[in-house]
Amino acid sequence: MREISLIQRQVLDLFKKFPLKDQFYWTGGTLLSVLYLHHRKSKDLDFFSNEPFSYNEIIGFVRFLKKKLNLAHIKEKKIFDRYEFF
Position 1 pLDDT exceeds 60: no
Position 73 pLDDT exceeds 90: no
Whole-structure pTM value:
0.82
Cα gap 86→69, rounded to integer Å: 13
Position 53 pLDDT exceeds 80: yes
Sorted by where each begins, the domain ranges of the chain are: 6-85
pLDDT tens-digit profile of 5-44? Answer: 999 999 999 999 999 999 999 988 888 888 887 787 888 8
At CB < 8 A and 24+ separation, what contacts does 46-55 make?
47/15, 47/20, 48/24, 49/23, 49/24, 49/25, 51/23, 53/23, 55/83
Position 55 pLDDT exceeds 80: yes
